[in-house]
Copies of this chain bind each other. A is one copy, B any other.
Amino acid sequence: MGIVAVGSMAFDSIETPFGKVAKVLGGSANYFSLSASYFTKVHCVSVVGQDYPADHLKLLQDRGINTAGIKMESGRTFHWSGAYSYDMNEAKTLATELNVFEAFSPELPSEYKDTEYVFLGNISPDLQLKVLDQVKNPRFVAIDTMNFWISGAKDTLIKAISRCDALIINEGEIRQLTQQHNLIAAAQLIHQWGPQTVVVKRGEYGAVLFHNGKVFSIPGLPLAEVKDPTGAGDTFAGGFMGFIASKGSDKINESLLRQAVVFGNVMASFTVQDFGFANLLHLTPGEIEARFHKFVDLTTFSATAFSRS
């Protein structure tokens, strides 16, 4: 059971209109794993440099995350720096320093290889493929990416995407990847490449799911305070995949995928309320359930508008 998840463990330097932090812990593998850990067992694959705090693995282990696939190599940890303006929907990347990821070749611990669910988080598509190759019998594989790889490794990226069941991607990035402005046309092209499930993340505007010719969309939850959107997309993926994995692969249908998109939004809504992944360390099942019901309240309307008044 559980999910194999590969992605970055990073130092993030972030500027927003509400504050500035330097070299805080971040990276797609951290956000994804912590988020998914509320739903299922996560087997994490990543690499850190010698400058990474030793007690960080303990923090993941405390959330039940398997850290056997996280290597420490000599050299410096991945470093991303970015800035947000008042429009918190899209980050401007200031620098991407791959560091230890440049030479990283993941080897999955044997207990990872029988896992049915795989999340190929935002990292080099070469590494994403190397991880997928080592999973014996994957049932549901999702992939995320970002503009850095769309610009720099598009062919390999499309090869990786074509082997997946689901693509989870930002609105701006699916347009860049497909060269289609219209989301319906963009999703159709992705379906042709392979994935029959496409989830488009829209920041504060929520997310859209394209699956089997049907469209589902959920708005974001308006929040009184948004401090830092970094990691919201990976947190979304963690809620989405975690919920799916918790239900079992025989139940992956339209209804389950829709709920999974809602749980993605639920988890992301917690992350943005504080800097980094601070909010993902101490949630309770009750808080997650209450937030899910906030999304129900947010979106419910009566479908019986045409009854006589």
- What residues of chain A have their CB less than 8 Å away from a CB belonging to chain B? 86, 181-185, 202, 205-206, 208, 214-220, 222-226, 243, 246-248, 251, 255, 258-259, 261-263, 289, 292-293, 296-303, 305-306, 309
Q: Is the CB of A215 within 8 A of B298?
A: yes
Please report the C-alpha to C-alpha distance between residue A215 and residue B300 in the assembled complex, in whole angstroms: 10
Select A293's contact among B181, B261, B297, B303, beta carbons within 8 Å: B303
Select A208's contact among B185, B219, B226, B261, beta carbons within 8 Å: B219
Closest B residue by C-beta to A205: B205
Known: A216-B301, A299-B217, A305-B262. A222 touches B251 (CB 8 A): no
A97 CB, min distance to chain B CBs, angstroms: 31
A86 neighbours in B (Cβ, 8 Å): 181
Closest B residue by C-beta to A299: B299
18 sample A-B contacts, Cβ–Cβ < 8 Å, listed by A number: A86-B181, A182-B225, A183-B222, A185-B224, A205-B205, A205-B206, A208-B222, A215-B297, A215-B298, A216-B298, A217-B299, A218-B299, A218-B301, A259-B301, A261-B301, A292-B306, A293-B303, A296-B303
Q: Is the CB of A219 within 8 A of B205?
A: yes
